[in-house]
Structure 1
């Protein structure tokens, strides 16, 4: 996450989550949760979204999933101490920018380094005034045409 800003001091401090208040703190603690190592996010522009009883005409809705999950109430997101001093042995000693990371043997599995080129959100296609085309109800199958009647001359 490139452009995350730390919550306001009154919402979260270095002793999170024990002295937290406000909704931003839980987002911060999940983001820095020591055992969470993967994140997947999606963003959508919602028109006329109901947010706590108010209608927002253009709400940007961001949802992120973290794995493995963390953010357990009453537990600290990480241990205080020297950076990388409590990295799991399974990480192989990886420490970069004072953060533990798992050393991968297979270089093809490495995530792409974040750059300006791959750190963007594609703009939404312009909304038209016409609704999306909907499939019409399927027609019931027609019965086969009756066979032509053959008449034999009387004998």
Structure 2
């Protein structure tokens, strides 16, 4: 199974897609949630949809993979993604590049990624850019493995 640039497989499960949104598309201006209770409360405050922390937990862990349309609609509205982002597990529908760029722009806006780093990347030779690409992909894979282990331990 191949992965797109976001680190989420084209055939990602609903849990993987929701976790990606929480990690990469948390709305600016909304305090980051420290747990599922705060995640549910933030979604409720922003959308008016009453989602329980148990539902958030089930969705994030894959214990629920067929939520109600209103739940998916609330998630889509909260994270600013089209409802079609959620697709269906096993369907080869990669995350839209627009979401990847939106997440990257957000990281630049909050200072996680410095604009001068992106400019420097553009100025690199193709060979040097390939080396940087490979290092980033390896670091992202190692980070995903670490996060999976942490989630499994919880």
Instruction: Establish whether TM, by shorter chain, passes 0.5.
Output: no
Q: Who wins on radius of gyration, i.e. which is larger?
A: 1
TM-score, normalization by structure 1 = 0.26
Larger relative strand fraction: 1
Highest relative contact order (Cα 8 Å, sep 6+), 1 or 2?
A: 2
TM-score, normalization by structure 2 = 0.26
Larger relative helix fraction: 2
